[in-house]
Amino acid sequence: MRRFRCTQVSAGSGRLAMLALAGALALAGPARAARAEPVDVPPGYRLVWSDEFDVDGPPDPAKWGFDTSMNKTGWHNHELQYYAGPQSENAVVRDGRLRITARRQTVSAASDWGGQHYTSARLLTRGKAAWTYGYFEVRAKMPCGRGTWPAIWTLGNGRRWPDEGELDIVEHLGRAPDRVASAVHTAAGSAGRSVYGAQRLPDACTRFHRYEMLWTPDGVSFGVDGFVHLHYPRLAAAPGAWPFDAPQFLLLNLAIGGDLGGAVDDAIFPVVFEIDHVRVYQRSE
């Protein structure tokens, strides 16, 4: 989510992507193919954290915080939104779902307003929960509309980006409503050299899907509804290519516009990113 250009790896059939690492990350060795087995809860894993969004009202403050830290200076990638704090207009749990809503709205009276003309929300578990390895499953329905850029992703808890790594479980662009993507960012492959996999998903905006990540000491696989579209293997020979042996926290956000979100159609607002559940499983001891 921090970057806006990636090395693209298309999924072709929508079920399997080819992971072309050699050129993208300047690493030795042949290109690697994503594993064909389904992404699913592995045997021997147990649920360690979840939010089923079954209590109406604000997102559970024991599990989620609101990131508003860059409203004044402006967010990454020239995005156009102001991320609000805990207010129901932008983030609320209703009827068993978290609803993150972006609005055409100017909050010039806010002390941290940075000139934005859209509001949205960016939720995160930083300081509340973080994990090293695991199976992550988020059931969600993407918003529709040109200019929307929702994401489900993780960031490291310590070092400066991209040294601590970033794992984008899914990103979606309103200007390409029938595609979803995943990405990996590291010091060896960030910004224009990050590793990226995508697949066609024609009903991403009209149906809920399971967006999944299986992260182990050997690699990270990303998929939708059990099918892999990107596998990133551990590559110990490449300096900075594997920072993923340390905790990462989870983020849910709906960005507007920017270098990747693109031009915005003001007729779409308000527009809603819906999340049905978030579940994290880890290997049983």
Catalytic annotation, residues: 166, 171
Q: Please give the full DSSP string across 223-268, using - where no structure is assigned.
A: EETTEEEEEEE--TTSTTS---SS-EEEEEEEEESHHHH-S--GGG
Separation CA 34–CA 21 (nearest Å): 11
Give the HSE-up count for residue 113: Cα atoms under 13 Å, Cβ half-sphere: 12
Separation CA 224–CA 202 (nearest Å): 12
What residues pair up with 273 in beta bridges, in sequence order?
A: 100
Separation CA 54–CA 96 (nearest Å): 5
Q: Which residues contact 13 (CB under 8 A, 6 or more apart)?
A: none
The span from the first CA to the last CA of the chain, in angstroms, equals 33
Separation CA 206–CA 172 (nearest Å): 13
Separation CA 217–CA 196 (nearest Å): 20
Q: Please give the full DSSP string across 40-70, using - where no structure is assigned.
A: -PPTTEEEEEEE---S-BS--TTT-EE--TT
